C-alpha cells in the first residue's frame, strides 16, 4: 500500500483546499471523510495530483507514514472529541494530531493533557484566510506541543501565505496559545466588520449615498492607508448584481447578522481577564441586536429617524475615512492588549511582533496598517499597549477629530454607531490620568465594607460612611 506523508480528517471546503495546497507543494497526502460526496469531490478536484481519500478510518490511519501526522478540520466541540476517541485505538505512540478547526482554547488545553498521557503529540492551530487562503496560502497560528510543530514546520511554511518572502506562520507558544490567538484574531475581525457596516450606514443613511457611490468610496479607500482584505471584499460586495432581481445583491440581503460564537468567546475571556475590549464587545452586541428584526421594525415606527443631510458631503466623507482609520488602529490595539494580558496570565510566552508579522498576509484581518503595527512591536517587543508607540500616537492625533465629527453627526441623526462610539470612549478612558473610579470604590466601601486604598499613604482602609450626617 502507498504510504502518505500526511492525512486530513474532514474534507469539507477548508480541509479539501488545504490538502490541495499541500499537494501543490509536492506532499503525498490523503484524506478521510464519512461522507462519500466529500470523497468524490476531492478525487474530482484533485485529478492533477491523483488525490484520493478513504471512507474507512482504519484504512486511512494505516496508509500514513510513521510517525503519523493527522490534521483535523472538523466542526469545533464534541465532534473533535469523538474523532479523537475513534483515532486513539488505531494510533501508535509518537503519532501526531493537529486540530485546525476553531476549537475553544480550553478544549485544546484539555485535549493536549489527555493525549500526552496516552503518548500522542497534539497541538491546536488556528487557520485564517477562508477558502481561498486554505487553497493558495493561509495565515496559521500553531501552538502547543513543540515536537509535533517541528515535524510540521516545513509543511506549514511551504503552504502558508508569504509577505516579502516570509511565511505567515510561526510557533505561537505553549499550551492552547495557537487557538487563543486565532480566537482573538476573530474578535478583531468582528470589530472591523462592524466598523465597516457602520461606515456603510453613515454613507447611506447619513449622507444619502447610493450603493453604487458607496462602492466607489470603498474602492478608493482601499488604495490608501485603509487598504485591507476586508475593505477589498466589501467594495466587491457593493458591486455584485443579484441574478434574480437585477438589483445589487447587498440591497437584497436581510439585515440580520449571524455568528458562530468566536467573537463571543473573545468577549467572555476578556471579562475573565479583566482586560476591556469594548469595540469587539460592541460588535458582538450589534450582531445580536440585529436579530430582533420585528422589534426594530415596531420601534422604528414609534421613534422614526429624522435625518438632516449635510451640505459638505466631500468633507464629511474625508472625516469618515479618518474615523475608520482611527477605529481600525484601536481594534488591533484592543486585541493585542488582550493577547499581552493572556500571555502573562496563561504563560503563553507570546511574541506580539511575530503575531503581527503572520497576520500581514493570508488572514482575514490582513491590512496595510499591520506593517506599522509589526514595526511598533519590532521596536519594542515588550510593548504593553499599541497606543504607547510614538508612530501610532501620531496617527491617532491626526485622525481623532474625524472620529469625533462622525460620532456627532451619527448621534444627531439617530444612526447607531456603537463600535465607533466605544472606540472613542476607550481612547478617552485610557488617556485620562484621573478617573472618577474613586467614587465607585467609596460607594462599594459604604454599602459593602469592601475597603479602599488612599492617595496619600499605602495600605487598605475602611471608613464608617454611615455615620455621615446628611
Contact 104, 265 (CB under 8 A): yes
Per DSSP, the chain holds a count of helices (H) and strands (E) of: 19, 9
pLDDT category at 470 given cuts 50, 70, 90 is low
Angle between helix 313-346 and helix 262-272 axes, rounded to 10 deg: 60
Class of domain 6-175 (CATH, top level): alpha beta
Give the model confidence (pLDDT) of 12-59 as tens digits.
999 999 999 999 999 999 999 999 999 999 999 999 999 999 999 999
Percent of the chain with pLDDT over 70: 99
Mean pLDDT within 396-411: 97
What's the whole-model pTM score? 0.95
Question: What CATH class has 441-467?
Answer: mainly alpha
* pLDDT tens-digit map of 108-157: 999 999 999 999 999 999 999 999 999 999 999 999 999 999 999 999 99
Can you tell me the distance from the alpha carbon of 129 to that of 359, in angstroms, rounded to the nearest whole number? Answer: 10
| pLDDT, position 134 | 94
| Distance from chain centroid for Cα 117 | 32
Q: Would you list the domain boundaries of the chain?
A: 6-175, 182-430, 441-467
Q: Please say whether the beta carbons of 237 and 250 come within 8 A.
A: yes
Q: Which CATH architecture has domain 182-430?
A: Orthogonal Bundle (1.10)
Catalytic positions are: 182, 189
- 94 sits in the region (left: phi over 0; alpha: psi -120 to 50; else beta) called left
CA neighbor of 112 nearest in space, from 123, 101, 98, 103:
123
Our CA dihedral for 100, 105, 106, 112, rounded to 10 degrees, sits at: 50
Structure-block grid coordinates of residue 369: 496598517
Report how far residue 53's alpha carbon sits from residue 68's, in angstroms, rounded to the nearest whole number: 16
Q: What is the Cα–Cα distance from 368 to 227, expressed in whole angstroms?
A: 6
Q: Please state which of the ranges 219-233, 393-407, 454-468 shows the lowest mean pLDDT.
A: 454-468
The pair phi, psi for residue 301, each rounded to 5°, is -75, -35
Q: What's the pLDDT score for residue 2?
A: 78
Q: Which three-class secondary structure state does DSSP give residue 122? A: strand
Pull the grid cell for residue 175. 499550551
Considering only CA atoms, which of 396, 219, 208, 226 is closest in space to residue 312?
208
Residue closest to 140 by CA, chosen among 100, 190, 177, 106: 100
Amino acid at each position: 500500500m502507498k504510504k502518505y506523508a500526511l492525512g486530513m480528517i474532514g474534507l469539507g471546503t477548508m480541509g479539501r483546499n488545504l490538502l490541495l495546497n499541500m499537494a501543490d507543494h509536492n506532499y503525498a497526502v490523503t484524506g478521510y471523510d464519512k461522507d462519500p460526496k466529500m470523497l468524490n469531490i476531492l478525487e474530482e478536484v484533485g485529478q492533477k495530483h491523483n488525490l484520493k481519500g478513504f471512507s474507512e478510518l482504519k484504512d486511512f490511519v494505516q496508509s500514513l507514514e510513521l510517525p503519523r501526522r493527522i490534521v483535523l478540520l472538523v466542526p469545533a466541540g464534541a465532534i473533535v472529541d469523538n474523532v479523537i476517541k475513534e483515532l486513539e485505538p488505531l494510533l501508535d505512540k509518537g503519532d501526531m494530531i493537529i486540530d485546525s478547526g476553531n476549537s475553544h482554547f480550553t478544549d485544546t488545553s484539555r485535549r493536549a493533557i489527555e493525549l500526552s498521557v496516552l503518548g500522542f503529540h497534539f497541538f491546536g492551530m488556528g487557520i485564517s484566510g477562508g477558502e481561498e487562503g486554505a487553497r493558495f496560502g493561509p495565515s496559521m497560528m500553531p501552538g502547543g506541543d513543540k515536537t509535533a510543530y517541528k515535524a510540521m514546520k516545513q509543511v506549514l511554511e511551504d503552504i502558508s501565505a508569504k509577505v516579502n518572502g516570509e511565511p505567515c506562520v510561526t510557533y505561537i507558544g505553549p499550551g492552547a496559545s495557537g487557538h487563543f490567538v486565532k480566537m482573538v484574531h476573530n474578535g478583531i475581525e468582528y470589530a472591523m466588520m462592524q466598523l465597516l457596516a457602520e461606515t456603510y450606514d453613515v454613507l447611506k443613511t447619513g449622507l444619502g449615498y447610493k450603493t453604487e457611490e458607496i462602492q466607489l468610496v470603498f474602492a478608493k479607500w482601499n488604495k490608501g492607508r485603509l487598504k485591507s482584505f476586508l475593505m477589498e471584499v466589501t467594495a466587491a460586495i457593493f458591486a455584485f448584481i443579484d441574478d434574480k432581481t437585477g438589483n445589487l445583491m447587498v440591497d437584497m440581503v436581510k439585515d440580520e447578522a449571524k455568528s458562530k460564537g468566536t467573537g463571543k468567546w473573545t468577549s467572555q475571556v476578556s471579562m475573565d481577564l479583566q482586560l476591556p475590549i469594548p469595540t469587539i464587545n460592541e460588535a458582538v452586541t450589534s450582531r445580536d441586536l440585529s436579530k430582533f428584526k420585528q422589534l426594530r421594525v415596531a420601534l422604528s415606527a414609534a421613534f422614526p429617524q429624522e435625518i438632516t443631510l449635510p451640505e459638505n458631503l466631500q468633507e464629511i466623507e474625508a472625516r469618515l475615512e479618518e474615523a475608520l482609520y482611527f477605529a481600525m488602529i484601536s481594534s488591533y490595539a484592543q486585541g493585542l492588549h488582550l493577547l499581552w494580558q493572556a500571555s502573562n496570565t496563561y504563560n503563553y510566552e507570546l511574541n506580539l511582533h511575530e503575531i503581527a508579522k503572520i497576520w500581514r498576509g493570508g488572514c482575514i484581518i490582513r491590512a496595510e496598517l499591520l506593517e506599522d503595527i509589526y514595526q511598533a512591536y519590532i521596536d519594542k517587543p515588550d510593548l504593553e499597549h499599541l497606543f504607547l508607540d510614538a508612530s501610532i500616537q501620531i496617527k491617532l492625533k491626526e485622525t481623532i477629530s474625524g472620529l469625533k465629527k462622525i460620532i456627532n453627526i451619527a448621534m444627531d441623526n439617530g444612526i447607531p454607531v456603537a463600535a465607533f462610539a466605544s472606540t472613542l470612549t476607550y481612547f478617552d478612558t485610557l488617556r485620562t490620568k484621573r478617573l472618577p473610579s474613586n467614587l465607585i470604590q467609596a460607594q462599594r466601601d459604604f454599602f459593602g465594607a469592601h475597603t479602599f486604598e488612599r492617595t496619600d499613604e499605602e495600605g487598605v482602609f475602611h471608613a464608617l460612611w454611615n455615620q455621615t450626617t446628611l
